[in-house]
Amino acid sequence: MKIRAVELVRVVRADGPAHASGAQAGSTLSASAAPAPKSRPRRKAWPTEIEVANPMSRFPRFKPRRQLYAARQWPGFAVKITAEDGTWGLGSCAGRPAAAVVADAFAHIIAGEDCMGIEKLWDMMFRVSKPFGTVGIATVALSAVDLALWDLKGKLLGKSVCELLGGPVRERVFTYATGDDCDWYLELGFKAFKLPCKYGPADGAWGLDQNERRVAEVRELIGDDCELMLDCYMAFDVDYAVRLAERLKPYKLRWLEECLIPEDSLGHLELKRRLPWQTLAGGEHFYTHYPYQLIVEHRALDILQPDIQWVGGLTPCLKICHMAEAAGLEVCLHGGARDPYGQHLTFAMPNTPWGEYYIGSDPGIPLAEVAQPGALVPENGYLDFTATGPGFDLGIAEDWLEPFAL
């Protein structure tokens, strides 16, 4: 079966939120396709209310909020790939630069190709991007095309993507809540929590004190029977990460996450050498499976966290899972428990026992009211496997799709 068309589309649904067109900076297609919540919030959610350490924290102008430096226009869109018989698959993405890569660099080289040859198509797109750079925007674009191809393959064969990967290896996935509204997550039944770290090297000793104080508060709130992790979002250097980890020893962190920028390969090796006792996680900003070779070989990270919508799609995620399994390492997809793409892979791989459920919605709004189409919703901290329709079973109707204009 040949590929007949590769199109850029956006999702528009009558019951969607005000930004359903995807015009909001940083939005994704999956987020824009979610319905508008019906319940009244108790308060605003943490993303716009607290400072979070990040790579831009060294610049005072942008330090207080991520929104101060976020892209002004980063609309959500999707890649729709249609086969000769009219069957179509969908892969979500965000940002006009990624859309331009799909339209100008990828669409014409895969049109007319066998839609079942996903490995070949991935390799073609990977190699055609070499002159302008594969890492970053091009890999995000590649992710959307790859996910659309897997969705299409499942529909053509009448099987879910999870079935294409061999079927579920577990009936339940333990999920943790990511965010800073931990009282609300406790009420929802979660038993594991990942906090955003508020301060970094720019805040000196005062910031170390504040970080420890917040971790101590949350540990007291959730008790010793729950897991607690800290997300450092590329804000640290090696020395600061070591100092903070030593301070946080009494609070029994399950892991410390993404302390360094992804380009600092030697820093990752040095950090593990200096913190052999601390479980380290990361990888959401590694692009393609190639950077993981060094990480796995040197055991620089204990838990690998590729993002299925950034790393290049499902195809490299499979390679990462297999590399990690051979080395005795776990994989926990970044945000992977929140969307159908990540959920299908997480249920199918033997070394993906955890799932991350990012919560950016306001406390008081049930998760089911803001869940992405086709996504399972955790109950009491677990996702229970449910048989789905073909492909990723995204729950997006074709009449919701409109052309996306660059």
Please list the active-site residues.
334
DSSP 180: S
> Residue 275, SS3?
coil
In angstroms, the CA 76 to CA 276 distance is: 40
Distance of CA 60 to the CA centre of its chain: 28
Residues 238/267, Cβ–Cβ less than 8 Å = yes
Residues 138/87, Cβ–Cβ less than 8 Å = no
How many angstroms separate the most distant Cα atoms in the chain?
63
Q: Residue with structure tokens 């294409």?
A: 164
195 phi, psi to nearest 5 deg: -90, 145
In angstroms, the CA 129 to CA 140 distance is: 12
In angstroms, the CA 230 to CA 76 distance is: 28
Residues 247/208, Cβ–Cβ less than 8 Å = yes
> Residue 194, SS3?
strand
Sign of CA dihedral 395, 397, 400, 402: positive
In angstroms, the CA 353 to CA 398 distance is: 33
- Bridge partners of 91, per DSSP, are 79
- Decide: residue 48, CB within 10 A, 0-12 exposed, 13-18 middle, 19+ buried: exposed
In angstroms, the CA 204 to CA 206 distance is: 5
CA dihedral 364, 369, 372, 377 (to 10 degrees): 80
In angstroms, the CA 382 to CA 107 distance is: 38
Q: Write the CA distances from 283 to 74, 319, 353, integer angstroms.
A: 22, 14, 17
- Bridge partners of 226, per DSSP, are none
Antiparallel, parallel or unpaired: β 382-384 and 401-403: unpaired
Structure tokens at 272: 């593990």
Residues 7/77, Cβ–Cβ less than 8 Å = no
